[in-house]
Amino acid sequence: MSQAAINVTDETFGAEVLQAEKPVLVDFWASWCGPCQMLKPIVEKIAEEMKGKIKVALVEVDHNPISAAKYNVMSVPTLLIVENGQVKNQIIGAQGEKDLKEKINEAIR
């Protein structure tokens, strides 16, 4: 993953996501998930392009089941847009870059 995106664990989720000073795109993913791998370069690109505007957090669900369960992640990829500790939008399944950017911009206006 790009340096603009950060790996988040169950232990760091609160500090990195819920207490973040800017909106956070949280990508719940798994290494065995084909759609997650298809989405990976899109999330990387968004992390680079929107650096400073949003934070991008990556949560690998197999190693961080508490965070996944807390947000009812039943399938991957699941993306959350979190601002001020509140979920503004939930996106399930792989998305195209344009659609994902639109959903992010709508949520953080």
Closest CA to 27 of 92, 79, 94, 74: 79
Joined together, the tokens standing for residue 71 give 């947000």
Positions marked active-site = 33, 36
CA distance 23 to 54: 5
CA distance 55 to 22: 7
